[in-house]
Every structure is written in structure tokens, then in C-alpha cells.
Structure 1
Amino acid sequence: MSATISTRTVFHPQHVSFILFSFRIALVSRCVAEVRAFSCKPVFILSAHYSLSSADSMVSWDSVVQSAHVETLVLILNHCRKQRNPHFALITYTFACEQAAEMHPCLGNYLIPMLADCGKLDVAQQVFDKLIQVNEHSCQALILGYVSCENYDRAFFILDIMRERQLNPSMFALQALVKAAAKQRCLTRGQKLHLDIVHVGCEKVSFVSITLVDMYAKCNSLQEAQEVFDEMDVQEVVPWNALLSGYISLGLYEAALDCYCRMKVDMVDPDACTFLCCLKACCNIRDLERGQEIHAEIVQEGLEGELYLHSALVDIYAKCGSMDEAQDIFDEVTERDVVSWNVLITGYSERGLAAKVLIFSEQMEFDGVLPSPVTYVCCLAACGNLGFISQGQEIHGRTVKEGVDVESHVGSALIDMYARFGLLSEAKEAFQKLRARDAVSWTSLITAYADAGLADESLDCLEQMMSEGVTPDSITYCCCLKACGSSVSVGRAQRLHNLIEVEGHDENLHVCSSLVDVYAKCGLLEEAADLFEELPIQDVILWNSLLAGYAFRGDSNQVVCLVNRMISRGIIPNDITSLNVLIGCSHAGLIDDGLQLFCVMKEGFHIPDTTNHYTAIVDLVARAGQLDEAVAIMESMYLEPDAAGWTAILAACQNLGNVELARQAFDFAMDMDDTQTALFILMSKCYSNITGKREGSSYENEACKQV
């Protein structure tokens, strides 16, 4: 049989690939020999193996690597890096780690950037650890890689190695590390990097300076941010934006707007980021007028179509209470994402427009935008406000299905909603399912118990919260103090006060106001007054807390004195102030003084009438024995009367022995609220005092049934 190849012989693709690789291997080896013999430029080697990256055979590639010299491997690694081909790179790496890295240190330093660029940081680190001699390029590659994947501590570890080996980091590596320090809010690291930047001599480079300004601003060191900023050529908008963002992050909103004014004076054109910062500032200080000015400038620059600016505009109008304008701006854009919808829905939620929240959340889904946890939080609050328990439970089911019910803010909203419905067991169950219990979720549960009048449970929650290592915040303490006030628990209030001082919350105005309130409710008016006098700011709420304490004690002289002091210090009384005056005078039996003071405040400070005011006036008149006048007020008031007014008349009838009017007052009060056990007790006592025990027994029995 002839040994010649038949013309019918069929070559498979892998055979062709093998033959081509044989030629390429020979060509690469020949080029390497040329480099060694004649010092030719290595570009010929690159040309020779350039097409290798298009091959599919890993076995063929392995044969190239194993037959190559150091120069060939260096060029292969460099080419793999450019092609970002991790498959061929890893084969090269395996061979290089076993042989080539030991043959020449430069091979490892070529290998590390390639692996880092391909996302193989763990492998790159292994190579780095084995190298005796590393250079700036391999260190920079690792630093940039670690920063990009937010492993900042590891990036700074590589920088420390560079410092030990007296290697100078490049400005790109330093800039990346400054960004890392900004993300970590680590001022000390940022300051050391600033010194390195000065040492390298790149502190005047624009993008490096901008990063420094941003880092100092985010680390709350605006003075240093301003110093770097002042050394820059600030004709660009980016450094201005970095400074603006710094002011915003520190809550210095007026300073941010002043900075924007200086920017305009320096003739620097704002961009969308600038306007976004300014809108945030206006939004936080509720400055609608300046927000409208920024809005006009955005329109002038033609940027109103930017989605995030559009959302910020909706937000500022909503936060400032101009929901019609917010709705108009929202309607101007047809393409809306979940952020845009949430801004509008949150605006309606914060204004207490619960029905609108549910309407627009449905419209949002109708338009094909899925709700986010923020949407669910607003909808749960709306259901709680409207008493829509079924819809609230349905939304709860959706959060469970999507797995967001375990998130703190969603879980807290569930607790709040169920607490409003009086379903404390469901509220506690939602709390127990949370992935992590933070101060917000604990405070929601504490508030739920406090609002239900369960002071002991509230304070037990506080103890458990602290035992689990969660630090209470000022809001938590305010809720616990509220629970103490509602249960008139003096001992626990004093222990809480001691804890507040230990934890350093005794300078918080809201906490101190709550302390004044709880001491006043517990009858410790001297302690309340001492705390009150120590506070640097005394607003109308604080004055009212102290007034309420003296009012319930019936110390009308002190009530009148406090009101006069309050007005003399420029504090405008409100409806609660006038209510406390009426209550104080009522308990003291000073009908004329109470009515006179009430009229003076109503006319002088334009305080509107409320049902509570009329109830207090009825109580004032009835306590003074003027029952006919009290009934006339109840029957002639233009506001809807409540059961409290008739209850006050019933209580006065008990003391004055008017059984007939007592029975009428009882009937009216029962028509308005038939759940009050106190009505039966008062009626029973009224009969017992006047006609004897027998007639009042039926009311007493009914009171027992109610309980």
C-alpha cells in the first residue's frame, strides 16, 4: 500500500490549529534568538505571537509557554494583559510561578499587573508575596485593584510595604488611596497621603487636588479642604462641587449656598452636580424662595430634563409644602424611575396625605415601576394613618415575599403600623424577624409599648436593647421618658435621668425637654423647674411642659407668672399654652382669671379655638358651680363637642348633688363614647352620694362589666 497521502484525506480543525501553532512556535523562538544575537527590538516577538490569542486550543498555548524564554513570557504576559484574557493568563501564570519567576524577577512584576487587571487579586497577591524584589508597577497594580473592590485596608497595607522598601507610589496610586481614605472617613490616613503627594510633587495636579478637597470635606475637615482649594486654579467646576458637597455633608447648608454665590462671582459655570448640591441645601433648610431661584437657573441652563435634578426639584417643593408645584414638576417628565416616584410619594407621606400615598403607589406599579423598600415604608405608614388594616397586611405579605421585611426601616414601619392598630403581638413578631436590630427598630418597639400605656414593657425593652449592645439614641430616651410620664413612674424616671447623664445625652435639647415634661407630670416641679432654667434654648413646647405641671397641681399663680415670663421673653403662646391656663385656673376655681387670660391670648396672639379649649372652659365653669352656663356652652359651641365636656359636667354634678343633670350628661357622653368606664363610676358615685348605695349599684355593676 502506498505511503503517500490520499487527496481524499480530511483534516480536522484541531489538526490545522496544531500545524499553525507549530509555525508560530518556531517563529517566536527564532525571534527570541534574533533578540539575543543582534539585540533586536522585541516588537518582532510581539508580532510573531500576536495571533496566538485568537486560538482556541489550551494545549497548544501550553506548549508555547513551556518552550518559551523569559523575554517571550514577558511579552506574552503583556499581551494577555492588553487582551484581558484570564484563561491564557492563568496557564502562563502556572508555568511562570513554577519556573520563570525564579529565573527573572521582572517576570513576576509583569505578571502582577496582568492578574490584577483581570480581577485575579488573590492570585496576584500570592505572586507578590513570593517575589523578593517588587517594583512600583506591581505595587500600584495591587493598590488600584484593592481600591476598586473596596478592600481599602489591604490597599494601605501595600502602601506600607512600599514605604518600607522606599518605593515611591505614583500619583494615580496616591489618588486612589485618597479616595479610599475619603470612603473610610479616615482623616489621619488622608493627611499622611497628602504628605506623600507633596513629596512626589503632584499636589498641583488638578485631579489630585480635587480628590484631596473631596477627602478633607468628607472627613469633616473643611478648613484643610478650603486650604487645598485656595491653592488651586479654580476655573473648573469640579473643585467647587467638591467643596459644596463637603458643606452639604456637614449640614452647613447656608455656607454651601454662600459658596455657590462666590462661584458665580468667579464666573465659573455650574453643572448638574452643582445644582443638585444647591437644591439639597435649600431642601434641608426649607428655603423655597432660593430653591425657586435655583430652579429658574436649571431651566435656563437646559438641565431640567436630568432625571436626578428632576427628582431633587420635586423633593424641595414637597419638603416645603408646595405639593401642587411638586406634582406639576413630576408630571412634566414621562420617563420616571423608582427614585422619582419615591420622592413624590414620600412628600405626600410627610404632609400626612395618606390617601395620596396609596393612590400614587398604585399608579407607580401601573406604569411598570416596581416599588422599593422606601415605597413600602410610606405605604405602611399610610395604612396605619387611615386604619386600612387589610391593605397593610397585604403590603406586609409583599415585603415578606420580596425578603425586605427583615430590613430595619421596613421592619420599623411594620411595628409602627401594627402598634397603631393595637396589634402589639404582630408588632413584636415583625421586630423579632429583623435581620439586625438597630436603635431605630428598638425605638419603634419601645414607642409602641409606650403609646399603649405599657410603661414597664417599654423600659424592659430598653434594658434588653442595651444588654444586646445596641446604644440608645436621644429619640429612644425621649420615648422611654414618655412612658415614665404616662405611668407616673418617678423611680424609673430618675434612674433614666442618671443613665442619660452617664451616656452624655443630658445636653440634648429634646431629651432635656422630655425630662422637664416627665418630672412635671410626676409632680416633681422643683426638679422640672431646675432643669428648665439650665437649658440654653427654651421653646414654646418646653414652656408648655412646665406650665402643664403647675396647671394640674392647680397652682394658678405660678401658671400666670410663667405665662407672663414667657411672653416677656418673646415666646409666642400657642393653643396648648392657653389650654394649660384654663386647666390651671379650673383646678384653682379661678373662673374670671382663667377666662380673662384665655381671651387675652386668643385675641392678642390669634390662637384658634379647639374642642379641648371648650372642654376646659366647661370644666372651669362647672367646677365653679355654674352648671347652667356649662350646659349652655356645650349646646352652643360651633365645634363638634366630645364626651370629655359632658364628663366634666357629670363630675361637677356629683359634687353639687344634681342627679337629674348628671343623668342627662351621662346619656350625652355615652352617645359620643360608650367605652368609658369612668362614666359608670361617676354616675354610681353620684347616686351613692345623694340617694344612697342602692340606686348606684346598677351603674357600679356595669362599670365592673366594662373592666
Structure 2
Amino acid sequence: MYTIAVKAQRVRVGPALNGSFLNGTVWPGRQFQRSCVYSSFFFEGLRDERRNHLRRAHGEKNVSGETDDIEHLWKKYFAGPFQWWDNTANKKNDRVPDYKHKVTGEALWIVDPSTPQWAKAIYMKAMLMKVTQSGRVRLVSSEPRVFQGSSQFARKKVFIPNSKHGKSYSQLTSTSEWRQTTPVNDAGLKHLQNATTLREAIAILQSHVQHRIPIDSYMYVDVLQRCLKQKDLESAKQLHDCIIKSRMEQNLFVANKIMRVYNRCGRLQDARKVFDKLEKKNVVTWTTMIGGYAEYDRTKDAIKIYNQMRQEGGKPDKITYLSIMKACVSPPALKWGKEIHTHIRDSGFQSDVHVGNALTNMYTKSGSIDDARMIFEEMVERDVISWNVMIGGLAQHGRGQEAFDLFLEMQRDGFVPDATTYISILNANASTGALDWIKEVHEYCGKSGLDLDVRVGSALVHMYAKSGSIDDARLVFNRMIERNVITWNAMIGGLARHGYGHECFALFLQMQREGFVHDEVTYLSILSGTSATAGDLKWVKKVHSQAVKAQLDGDIRVGTAFVHMLVNIGSIDDAKLIFDGIKHRDIITWNVMIGGLAQHRRGHEAYSLFSLMQREGFVPNVGTYISILNTCASSGALEWLKEVHKHVVKMGLDSNISVENALIHMYAKSGSIDDARLIFEGMAERDVASWNGMIGGLAQDGHEAFSLFLQRQREGVVPNPLTYVSIPSASAGIESGGS
């Protein structure tokens, strides 16, 4: 008797299993790994004489009378098993064929001397697969005798009928599933297993398709998994072409995987095409499409697929809900998130800790922190992630004290904070700026040893620097065994913000010596935070040379930061040189350069740049007009001023208070006091700068200036120091008028 017994998670072929039927396909003592079997599997073999008796009973011909074409019939069977009747489970007479064609009546017997060995091997593998909980087996070594299972059909029931002759084995749930899950070519399997590259594996499958050799679904899935790991879109498309040619595009196992590959590669439109062509969909299909849209913030599309799933009778599972909640993590999606929350509550999934965590996260990120807190408090079971999500959410919404209280409660409940907990609570401290609080959290970190963790250490450096305690930041930084780019950037940024320019530059060079590559944030930290002077031009140029080597000088933000620093230093020509080298500029870059030229009284160049900016398709904003107006005012060219004023009116910015103030100042300084008065009197609202600009413009007419000053006081506008600067000039105007 052939015996395959079950032991733990392994299927073992007993030593009683011998020869003729399997012909060495399975050897005694071999183990089938990671397979969980529902029951023992017995296959009673027939001795040679019994098989000879059957041959005599059936004659030397099969039903079709073509003795030499049995191999062809087996190929025909494997090409379309759904076209054959399957009698293996209930036959009571050896004369009844195991498989009989529904139309032609052609018949096949498994135990037949003419049955080719490859067909017997396939049959045996199918039997093994159908008694495993996983539902399929695949090779795990170069030997075709060792197989590994997977969990694709873990929930399928297996029926073990007993026939008259004592053969006891699982019935295939359907012959079409047999075709989908059964390897049909040992040589092809071996070649695919031994393929060292993705391209080689695809070439094997393409060859199978070309020669019409049936391909098992898991062979496609295994190669698609390689595409997924490598994010290789081109290979996935080649494989998809093979799938279509082999008519397996309706196989859900394959289709779900190809959709995942397309999602990972950002080709949502291709994934959607596969999805739309499927005649039937399972929960994995729906969830895969929803997850793809959620990953790329396509909230509306994800919601549409989710609603379509429910309308068509699909039942979302836990993974579906986790995926759709990921799509609802923004304030505009809150209404959908609440609707999905209702579905989750009705389905009974809310008690699941992972679903509870996802709900808390969804409400937190969509701005409904109170709903998030309610979900958190209702959770029957919590894990560290639950606490981290809630603490992080409170920190994100500026509720630092609540976050810290929850941090303490977490420990009282017996949960041990991890690195994420400390990073979250440190961010909560940032909203309060309390140095004592940061030190208290630091003490907790030290007790657990997590202060040496690179992520926690970096957060501590950043928080200490942000609170102004550079000495504590240095201490943490110097104690760290391991640092990353974020750590260096936090320390460099802290030094830059607090005026330690030279130390900041020294650390910048040390970072490079220790083998770390400066990134965009490094340059922005050192440039945006440092208040450089003309004496610092040398080191600014050195930093720029490093940016050129790193090919970051053309980056919009880095390039703009260099322009801004050089403008402040007074090196306007160097600033213009860098500006010209930035390939892709934004409105901020233009404004910085125009403002720099205006600041250094190079009005003609500023106005030329203003005109060039518009020719290149950029639309000036408030900052642009304020910069160019200052240029016109300093140059005293009234004609320019009126031209710019026309631009302001055309853009609809003439009612912006900052622009109006600049226009008043501009006209007054250019001597056109009537134009300045016209703008001032037409203002819907005025601020201190409006009054100061007008009073200063009327300084030559002391009476009117002083009268305006008194009017300002009556209207309750509080003067600032600049107001009183204008008063002596107005007094001088009164004296010169003979009053």
C-alpha cells in the first residue's frame, strides 16, 4: 500500500511507497515541506498482474481506438479538464474510465501501462496538493521530489471519499482548479526554479507559450513576485502578455498578483484594466484595487471601488477595511471615513486591534482628534501601536500635555514605550517648548537605553536645539554611537539658527569627512538658518562648491537659499550667477533675485528681470510687486511706478493692504503726493504702515501731516517708533511755512 502520513506540518512519504505508479516521482522517506494535511492519504496501487488484467479488459485500444494517441489525449485533458467527466471519486468498477470526454466520449485511465510517466507525476502531485490545507505544492529544490506548499487555498474544504476498492484520496474541488494549480511540465518547472535572473525566467515562460506547453498559475505568480520585488514594470508587461496568450487572464490568483505589480509600479491605469476585464472578482481582487488607489492618494477612486464592491455583493474583510481607511486620512475624506466606520462597526471588526489602530489613525490624520480619542478609549485590546498612534495624534494637534499624560498612563498600564513612542512624545514637547519636559522625557529614554537609538537621539538633538539648549543638543550628539544624515542635519540646523555660523560650517565639513553625503536638508539648514555677513563669503562659496559636486546647486530650494544668502551678504553678482544657473525656477526664486537687485539699488536690472519673469510665463504675486515697487521708489522713476501700478490693478492686487502701502510709499517718495493720497483715502482698511507712509509723504506740508497724525489718534491707531520719525519732518514743514 502507498502511504502518505501526516506529522505536524510535514507530509512524509512512507517507506511502503514503491515504484511502478510513481516511477520515482516521489521517493520513500522524502518530506513534503510546510504542508498541513486534513487526513492521511492512502493510495492502493495495483500490481502488474492487476494492471495487465485491466489492459486485457479494455483491449489494446482505448475507446477512441487510437492506441498510439494516449499521450495526445492526456495533453488534451490537461489543456481543458473542464471538458471531461471526472469519475475518480465515485467509480465502483475498474472498467469505468477515470476521465471521459463530455462530447467525444474519449476515455482515460490513470492506472494504465500506456499512461505516460509525466501524466502520472502530474496526477500524483495534484492528489498531494488537494489534501494539503494550502492547496498547492511547488518545488523547493532541484530535485522534483521535494515540494513546498503555500496558503492560497487554506480555507477550501477537502472531501475524502472512500471508493469500493479502498482508494482513499481527496477529490479535486474542480478540474479547472486542478489545471490552475498543477504543474504540467517537470522540465519547465526545473528550468524556472533554476532561473537566476528575472529575464531568464520570463524567457522560459515565453518559450512555454510559444510551444503551447500548459503553464501552471503559480509559475506565473512566482515570476510576478520577482517583478514586484524589483518594481520591474517592463518585465511585468512581458509576463502579462504571456498570461493573455495562455488564456489565464481570468485566473484570479494570477490577476490579483499582476494588479499588485502594476500598483507597486505606479501604473494604476494598467491595474484597473486588468480589474475591469475580470468576469468574477474575489475579496482579494477588490482589496488590491482599493489598496492601489489608497497608496497613491486617489481617495475618490478608492471609495468608488469600495462602494461598487458592496453593491455587487462583495463582503469586505479586515484587509479591505484597513486599505480603505488608508484612503481616508485627510480632512476632505472625513465624511467617507465616518461612513466606513459605521460599516466596520456593523461587521464586528471594530474589536480587532489592528482595525482599531487604523480607525484611530484615520480620525487623527483627518483632523478629528476627539473622535480618535473616543475610538482609543473604546478599544477592548490595545498594543504599543495603539498608544503610539494616539500620542502622535495629540502631539500633531498641539495637545502636548494630553500626549504626555497618555505617555505616563501607557507605562502605568504595563506597556513599554519604544522608539516611536519617544519620538512622538518629543514632538509633543515641541508644541510646548518646555525644556524641563524634554529633559524629563530624555531621562525616561536613558533608563530604557533608547537615548542611544539613532532615531530617538536625532529627535532629542532636534528638540534641544529648537528649545535653544544647544549645549544639551551637543551633549546628546557627541554621545551617540551611531548617527545618520538626519542627526547631522538636526545639529547643523540648530547651530545655524542660534548664530553659531563657524561651528556650523566646521560640522558641515566634519560630516563630509566621516563619509556622510550632504542632502538637500543639509544645505537648507546651513543656508537658511545662518545669518552670514560679508566676511563669511569665503565659506559660503565653499559650501556652494560642495553643492555643485553633489549636483544640488540646480535644485530650486537649495539654489534659492544660496541666492538669498549671497544677497544678504551683499555679493549680488554671485547671487545673479547662481540664479542664472538654476534650470527650473519658481516664483520664490524670482522674487528673491528681484528683491535683491532692488535692495542694492539696481532698479533697471530688477525691472528687466520683472519683465523677463512674465515673458517666461510666471505670474507675479504680492511679494513680486512689493519688491519691484521698492525698486521703482528707490529709482524715483514715476513713469515706471505708474506702469507697475497698472500691472497691480490688472492682477486685482490693488486692494491688498501690503501692496497699497508700498504704492503709497512709492508715490510719496517720487513726489506724486496726490496719487499717494488717492490710494490712502480709497483703502478699505489701514494699518500702522499705511498711516506712517502717508504722514511721511506729507512731511513737506507740516499742517496736513500733523492733522493726519491727530486723525490717526482719534481713530485709535497706536503709533509705532516709525510714526515719530515722521513728526520732526512735519514740524520742520510747519516752521518753514511761517506758523
Same fold (TM over 0.5): yes
Tell me what 1:692 maps to. none
Letter in 2 for 1:331: N
State the alpha-carbon separation in 1 of the partners of residues 617 and 349 from structure 2: 45
The 5-angstrom pairing of residues 430-579 of structure 1 reads 430-455=578-603, 458=606, 461=609, 465=613, 475-476=623-624, 478-480=626-628, 482-483=630-631, 486-487=634-635, 491=642, 498=649, 502=653, 524=676, 534=686, 577=721
Whether the 8 Å CA contact 1:125–1:142 is kept in 2: the answer is yes
SS at match of 1:315: helix
- Relative distance call for 1:377 and 1:84 in structure 2 (3 A) is closer
Report how far residue 544 of structure 1 moved: 7.4
Residue 361 (1) aligns with residue 491 (2): no
Tell me what 1:603 maps to. none
Tell me what 1:372 maps to. 519
The 5-angstrom pairing of residues 78-97 of structure 1 reads 97=244
Tell me what 2:77 maps to. none
- Relative distance call for 1:460 and 1:293 in structure 2 (3 A) is farther
Tell me what 1:667 maps to. none
Residue 165 (1) aligns with residue 295 (2): no
SS at match of 2:533: helix
Residue 326 (1) aligns with residue 473 (2): yes
Report how far residue 167 of structure 1 moved: 2.1
Whether the 8 Å CA contact 1:481–1:514 is kept in 2: the answer is yes
- Relative distance call for 1:400 and 1:233 in structure 2 (3 A) is same
State the alpha-carbon separation in 1 of the partners of residues 307 and 222 from structure 2: 30
The 5-angstrom pairing of residues 205-220 of structure 1 reads 205-220=352-367
State the alpha-carbon separation in 2 of the partners of residues 457 and 387 from structure 1: 26
Tell me what 1:599 maps to. none
Report how far residue 95 of structure 1 moved: 6.9
Report how far residue 109 of structure 1 moved: 1.0
Whether the 8 Å CA contact 1:78–1:114 is kept in 2: the answer is yes
Tell me what 1:112 maps to. 255
Whether the 8 Å CA contact 2:328–2:362 is kept in 1: the answer is yes
Tell me what 2:133 maps to. none
Residue 176 (1) aligns with residue 323 (2): yes
State the alpha-carbon separation in 2 of the partners of residues 230 and 284 from structure 1: 24
Query: C-alpha root-mean-square deviation of aligned residues, in Å?
Result: 5.5
Tell me what 1:137 maps to. 284
Report how far residue 354 of structure 1 moved: 2.4
Tell me what 2:551 maps to. 403
Whether the 8 Å CA contact 2:429–2:437 is kept in 1: the answer is yes
Tell me what 1:684 maps to. none
Tell me what 2:404 maps to. 260
Q: Deviations over 1:516-544 (max 9, x none)?
A: 87688676479669969755xx7xx8997
Whether the 8 Å CA contact 1:112–1:141 is kept in 2: the answer is no
Q: Select the residue among 103, 108, 122 that pairs with 1:28.
A: 122
State the alpha-carbon separation in 2 of the partners of residues 560 and 323 from structure 1: 46
Q: Deviations over 1:641-668 (max 9, x none)?
A: xxxxxxxxxxxxxxxxxxxxxxxxxxxx
Q: Deviations over 1:66-118 (max 9, x none)?
A: 9998xx9467667878999999999997776445648xx5xx11222344566
Report how far residue 362 of structure 1 moved: 1.3
Q: Larger deviation: 198-207 or 441-450?
A: 198-207
Q: Deviations over 1:549-608 (max 9, x none)?
A: 677876895799799999997x9x7xxx2x764664366359xxxxxxxxxxxxxxxxxx
Q: Larger deviation: 19-28 or 414-423?
A: 19-28
Letter in 2 for 1:385: T
Considering fraction of residues, name the structure with more helix: 1
Letter in 1 for 2:731: A
- Relative distance call for 1:351 and 1:467 in structure 2 (3 A) is farther
State the alpha-carbon separation in 2 of the partners of residues 115 and 237 from structure 1: 35
Report how far residue 218 of structure 1 moved: 2.9
Tell me what 1:40 maps to. 170
TM-score (norm 2): 0.58
Report how far residue 363 of structure 1 moved: 1.7
- Relative distance call for 1:394 and 1:109 in structure 2 (3 A) is same
State the alpha-carbon separation in 2 of the partners of residues 39 and 82 from structure 1: 32
State the alpha-carbon separation in 1 of the partners of residues 700 and 426 from structure 2: 46
Letter in 1 for 2:194: D
Q: Deviations over 1:383-440 (max 9, x none)?
A: 9534444544444343233221221111102322443465555534533443532232
**Structure 2: which 5+ runs fail to align?**
1-22, 27-115, 131-160, 196-200
Tell me what 1:658 maps to. none
Tell me what 1:661 maps to. none
- Relative distance call for 1:425 and 1:148 in structure 2 (3 A) is same
- Relative distance call for 1:245 and 1:28 in structure 2 (3 A) is same
State the alpha-carbon separation in 2 of the partners of residues 521 and 298 from structure 1: 60
Report how far residue 307 of structure 1 moved: 2.2
Structure with greater contact order relative to length (CA < 8 Å, sep ≥ 6): 2
SS at match of 2:728: helix
SS at match of 2:313: coil
The 5-angstrom pairing of residues 207-356 of structure 1 reads 207-222=354-369, 224-226=371-373, 228-229=375-376, 231-233=378-380, 236=383, 238-239=385-386, 241-246=388-393, 252-253=397-398, 255-261=399-405, 264=408, 267=412, 271-283=418-430, 286-356=433-503
State the alpha-carbon separation in 2 of the partners of residues 83 and 560 from structure 1: 78
- Relative distance call for 1:220 and 1:496 in structure 2 (3 A) is farther
**Structure 1: which 5+ runs fail to align?**
1-17, 591-622, 625-707
State the alpha-carbon separation in 1 of the partners of residues 390 and 666 from structure 2: 44
State the alpha-carbon separation in 2 of the partners of residues 264 and 500 from structure 1: 55
Letter in 2 for 1:110: F
Whether the 8 Å CA contact 1:186–1:219 is kept in 2: the answer is yes
Q: Deviations over 1:139-183 (max 9, x none)?
A: 323444565577777756654653553323333133223223437
- Relative distance call for 1:394 and 1:74 in structure 2 (3 A) is closer
Whether the 8 Å CA contact 1:111–1:124 is kept in 2: the answer is no
Report how far residue 377 of structure 1 moved: 3.6
Report how far residue 133 of structure 1 moved: 1.9
State the alpha-carbon separation in 2 of the partners of residues 464 and 247 from structure 1: 47
Whether the 8 Å CA contact 1:519–1:528 is kept in 2: the answer is no
SS at match of 1:365: helix
State the alpha-carbon separation in 2 of the partners of residues 81 and 100 from structure 1: 16
Residue 588 (1) aligns with residue 731 (2): yes
Report how far residue 342 of structure 1 moved: 1.4
Residue 56 (1) aligns with residue 199 (2): no
- Relative distance call for 1:229 and 1:481 in structure 2 (3 A) is farther
State the alpha-carbon separation in 1 of the partners of residues 679 and 311 from structure 2: 61
- Relative distance call for 1:321 and 1:450 in structure 2 (3 A) is farther
Whether the 8 Å CA contact 2:665–2:694 is kept in 1: the answer is yes
SS at match of 1:304: helix
Report how far residue 205 of structure 1 moved: 3.1
Whether the 8 Å CA contact 2:590–2:613 is kept in 1: the answer is yes
State the alpha-carbon separation in 2 of the partners of residues 179 and 503 from structure 1: 44
SS at match of 2:329: helix
Tell me what 2:5 maps to. none
Letter in 1 for 2:548: V
State the alpha-carbon separation in 2 of the partners of residues 503 and 202 from structure 1: 57
